[in-house]
Structure 1
Amino acid sequence: MPYHIPPTAIVDGTLYTLLAFSIATWSLIVFKIWQFARNGIHNRRFNSAFWNASDIGAAESLPVLTARGPQARIARRGFGWLSEMRATSAQALKFRGSPEELLGHALRLQTQEEQRALESGLTLLASIGSTAPFVGLFGTVLGIMHALHEISRSGSASLDVVAGPIGDALIATAVGIAVAVPAVLAYNFFGRRAKQHRQALDNFAGSFLHLVFNVDGARE
């Protein structure tokens, strides 16, 4: 046990670690709020333009400013797959099989990519939420051990001697809990939002597949 290290250095090191956790947490919260808001705006704009298009060709030729966001990228993936299949006359091995199933697979791959982007950072939030209290507790335990060592060495157990060092050590636990709470709340909130977005993307991919293969004149 490195008793030569001052208790304040241990507590301060723990607090700086928790400060880094807090900065990472709030940076991720701000980024995820911006990400979900941006994707929501782009999806609503694209959805309106896509389903108000006169036909598949018009939907495929939507302006770049309108064709942004996860749903637009899924549609581009689908249109790109269809164009490649027509260009190669479906002779490549990757086009062997049911076109509907193959296109559905391509759309699912793009949906999974969009989902991974939406869920990026959530693992870090969960890790901070689960470890921050223990980091604070670690600093508290070491701080108290040092404080008790100093008390035993001084031979005095008066309130003035005991309260100060132990009170300072307990600050680390309080800060650890304060850092963990917003991280856990943010993880739960954005996890639910990501699930809702995934459902919306799955619904759009299914509707796109139905449009391509079941609407009259859409399938060649």
Structure 2
Amino acid sequence: MNNIPTTAIVDGTLWSLVLLSVLSWGVIVYKLLRFVSEARRSRALLQAFSGNPSLAFLQGQAGQGGALGRIVQAGQSVLRAATEHLHRNEQIWDRQDLVQRALQQQIQRERKQLESGLGILATTGNIAPFVGLFGTVWGIMRALTGIAAKGSASLDVVAGPIGEALVATGIGIAVAIPAVIAYNTFQRRVKLSVAGFEDLAAEFLKLAQLNAFLLAPTHVAATVITSRKEVA
């Protein structure tokens, strides 16, 4: 084994770690901005909704609420269809089932969007230390090759290769740590966001129930809606 391919392998390992670091930090910055933006929009919607907890309010504000707004819009599309085709004489429980499914499907879509890119962080956190270790092994092999070629284990023979080996190990760990921390942080944020989605979906379902699962109550459903509100 000569020094040229060994050096190229060590350099390739270091550049691979740099690439993993760039990818992971790109994902970290993007996801951080995304979560901050979603949190701000969702907070504004929830604060406004807490002061006016009605289906009519959600109809007017859904477009401003980010992921929560899109979930509301998914439920509204079912209520709108039920209202426009009331003459089909659908049963209330049929509309309820359709609304529940629409809400859950949109929640799953939003969850996938929030989790997108996290695989890169997980992969980086898992493989970066081993990539660094690979570079370390090749650096040590280079040092041993130098010792064999010169018949000496003096400092000037082993210092360079061993130094490269240590650098590869350090870079591998430095790349992995922020990726792992970010992955765990974002996974927790995803769980909290999904819990918020579920809460709003349950509130939307309750309000829709009070409106007989119609977007705009008509005289056909007026009696049912009034009786439900009195009971509530």
Please list, as runs of the form range in 1=range in 2, the aligned pairs for 1:16-55 lying within 5 A after superposition. Answer: 16-53=15-52, 55=54
After TM superposition, the structure 1 stretch with the greater mean CA deviation from structure 2, 55-64 or 152-161, is 55-64
Superposed CA offset, 1:182-202 (max 9, x none):
000000111111110010111
Does the Cα contact within 8 Å between 1:10 and 1:143 map onto a contact in 2? no
After TM superposition, the structure 1 stretch with the greater mean CA deviation from structure 2, 77-86 or 95-104, is 95-104
What's the Cα RMSD here?
2.7
Superposed CA offset, 1:9-62 (max 9, x none):
222211111111111111111111111110011111222334444742343133
Distance 1:192 1:63, change over 3 A: closer
| Partner residue in 2 for 1:195 | 191
Distance 2:163 2:191 in 1: 43
Please list, as runs of the form range in 1=range in 2, the aligned pairs for 1:167-206 lying within 5 A after superposition. Answer: 167-206=163-202
Distance 1:63 1:71 in 2: 7
Q: Which runs of 5+ in 2 are unaligned?
A: 222-232
SS in structure 1 at match of 2:61:
coil
Distance 1:211 1:54, change over 3 A: closer
Distance 2:199 2:62 in 1: 23
Q: Which runs of 5+ in 1 are unaligned?
A: none
Equivalent AA in structure 2 for residue 74 of structure 1: I
Q: 1:108 Cα shift?
A: 0.4
Q: 1:88 Cα shift?
A: 3.5
Distance 1:87 1:173 in 2: 65
Residue from 62, 70, 79 that aligns with 1:82 = 79
Distance 1:90 1:71, change over 3 A: farther
- Percent identical pairs in the alignment equals 42
Distance 1:83 1:38 in 2: 29
Distance 1:15 1:90, change over 3 A: farther
Q: TM-score, normalised by structure 1?
A: 0.87
SS in structure 2 at match of 1:157:
coil
Q: 1:139 Cα shift?
A: 1.1
Q: Does 1:137 align with 2:133?
A: yes
Please list, as runs of the form range in 1=range in 2, the aligned pairs for 1:50-199 lying within 5 A after superposition. Answer: 50-53=49-52, 55-62=54-61, 64=63, 67-89=64-86, 98-199=94-195
Q: 1:215 Cα shift?
A: 5.9
Give the aligned length.
216
Distance 2:75 2:69 in 1: 10
Distance 1:74 1:87, change over 3 A: same
Distance 1:217 1:25, change over 3 A: closer
Superposed CA offset, 1:69-105 (max 9, x none):
01100011111111122323485x9x99632122111
Distance 1:4 1:59 in 2: 68
Superposed CA offset, 1:131-161 (max 9, x none):
0001111111112112212221221122321
SS in structure 2 at match of 1:114:
helix
